[in-house]
Chains A and B, each alone.
Chain A
Amino acid sequence: MHNLARTMRFLLMLIGILTGIFIGVSSGMWLLKAEIANTSTKNGAWSYNPHVGSKDASGLTRAAVAVIGFLGLAKEESIYFIANKDDNNDLLSGACSYKVTGMISPDDARWWSITVYDTNTNKLIKNPQNHYSFNGDNIEKMQNSSFVFHISANKKAGNWLPIQKDPQFDLTLRMYNPSKTSSEQIATLDLPKISKESCP
């Protein structure tokens, strides 16, 4: 009887600790996401965090950056933009299809890429084609060097990035070895447009 009471007490304590850890980590992650939003610069649908790869970030900002850009490089080497909404400010959803149009020249950056990630896990989204991104060398461009690609769960003609119907996703635009103009005028750079094509 005495042992049973002790075991019950231990179990209750364990449940309390685990509940506390769950609440603490969840609220911590929520605060880190808020910190990312507070310290980011907006450019259309894209946002840029100047603290990725920076040595000057505070402890809190550094932790926030670790969640979205762990082992990221400073802006002299690479600029990272993230978009989780389209140009109409609607969250990107796997249930819809989107068109991304733009032009990034070698004068803006040495090379660029746009990758699709699952917003909840920050990981690549599984698809049978194992196709997750386009870069300036493997995308089919128009004659004027601009590009168009589609993002959808159903196959599209032309440049197409497959996603799954369920997850909320976002895009990361990487610009490696950006020009001085690009890294100094982040808020006004002409970045790709993200428009919704259709939604069920």
Chain B
Amino acid sequence: MNIRNWLLITLSSAVISCVVTLYFTPHILMAGINLKAHISNGHGVLSIRPKAEAGKDDIVRMSPDLLYSACPFSLAEGAYRITSPNIGSYLSMSMFAHNSDNFFAINDQQSPQGFDIILAKKGQQIDLPTGATLVETDSPYGIILMRYYLGDKKLSTINKFRQQAKCAVFKQK
């Protein structure tokens, strides 16, 4: 291999890597989360993550004042139903598309009776349960994130509520 060919290969891979970094970072990060979820628990499982701690924070800039529960979704498996009681302090549920867009967010003050959300593919026929809210998206996969404010409360107090939250494929009657 002569030096010209070597430089051409190096330059080409540099340009391709730079473009991928510039435009596909969110897609790569989100695909990574989904792949990890698929290998460990699968989609439609709400994982209760431990309190953020140095060396154990796998996502950038996790807040140690929040407790996170995450549910990766893949709408190829059907619609999802996510329910959660309120905790008496800040709680939010947010949904992120495959390109990391935050397409939906709701907090405890906007839904004082707790959350009951159906997430479905745009245009999908859904027999909406009484009291539930329908959220539609074009995104084939992504992640649902619950944030619980810890404040000065005990971890065990918030965890009791976290364990009552559910995220699963919605089975229509």
Contact = CB atoms under 8 A, between A and B. Distances in A.
Nearest to B15: A24
A133 B96 CA distance: 26
Interface of B: 1, 6-7, 9-26, 29, 52-55, 57, 59-65, 90, 92, 94, 96, 99-103, 105, 107, 109, 143, 145, 149, 151-152
Given A16-B10, A126-B54, A177-B107, A63 B26 contact: yes
Given A115-B65, A132-B64, 8 more contacts: A20-B13, A23-B14, A32-B22, A70-B60, A77-B107, A111-B151, A113-B65, A135-B151
Contact of A67 (B7, B9, B60, B143): B60
B54 A24 contact: no
A77 B25 CA distance: 24
Interface of A: 9, 12-13, 16-21, 23-25, 27-29, 31-32, 53-55, 59-60, 62-63, 65-74, 76-77, 110-111, 113, 115, 117, 122-127, 130, 132-133, 135-138, 172, 174, 176-177
Across the A-B interface, the 7 shortest Cβ-Cβ residue pairs: A24-B17, A28-B21, A20-B13, A122-B60, A20-B14, A24-B18, A137-B151
Contacts of A126: 54-55
A136 B149 CA distance: 11
Given A9-B1, A69-B61, A60 B90 contact: no
A65 B25 CA distance: 10
A31 B96 CA distance: 24
The DSSP consensus for interface residues of chain B is: mixed
A30 to B, nearest CB: 10
A31 B18 CA distance: 9
B25 A32 contact: yes
A184 B135 CA distance: 27
Nearest to B17: A24
Contacts of A113: 63, 65
Contacts of B23: 59-60, 63
Contacts of B29: 66, 70
A20 to B, nearest CB: 3
B63 A66 contact: no
Contacts of A73: 92, 94, 102, 105
